[in-house]
């Protein structure tokens, strides 16, 4: 399993550049795990979706199965984005309550 999170913040600007033409194909060998993880991260970062919302949306159109490691990376990204967007209390904030 690779750490895809290192490209999560590079990917959206690249995808946005190509979205001007209407569609973007994101592909890897099997198309089930690595490429879907990148698409999910894009939706989370640029379309303001949670990990669950992104998974639900993509699964409406494609059979994707991000592996456990990639799901963990998406969960970490989801938590980070929720904190940054003010939707999730930081651990220290939770202890104070």
Q: Give the burial string for 35-50 (b: 16+ CB within 10 Å, else e).
A: bbbbbbbbbbbeeebb
- How far apart are alpha carbons 90 and 2 in whole angstroms? 27
pLDDT at 93: 53
pLDDT at 35: 84
Best CATH choice for the domain 4-85 from the list 3.40.50.2300, 3.20.20.10, 3.90.190.10, 3.20.19.10: 3.90.190.10
Residues of the chain with pLDDT under 70: 1-22, 24-25, 30-32, 88-97
pLDDT at 80: 93
- How far apart are alpha carbons 93 and 63 in whole angstroms? 38
pLDDT at 38: 86
pLDDT at 46: 87
From 2, 9, 18, 28, active-site residue = 28
Active-site residue, 28 included: yes
User: Residue 16 in contact with residue 22, Cβ under 8 Å?
Assistant: no
pTM (two decimals): 0.72
């Amino acid at each position: 399993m690779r750490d895809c999170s290192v490209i999560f913040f590079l990917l959206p600007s690249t995808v946005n550049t190509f979205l001007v033409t209407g569609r973007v194909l994101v592909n890897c060998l099997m198309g089930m795990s690595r490429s879907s993880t990148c698409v999910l991260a894009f939706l989370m970062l640029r379309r303001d979706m949670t990990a669950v919302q992104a998974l639900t949306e993509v699964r409406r159109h494609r059979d994707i199965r991000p592996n456990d490691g990639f799901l963990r990376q998406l969960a970490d990204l989801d938590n980070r984005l929720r904190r940054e967007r003010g939707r999730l209390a930081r651990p220290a904030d939770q202890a104070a309550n």
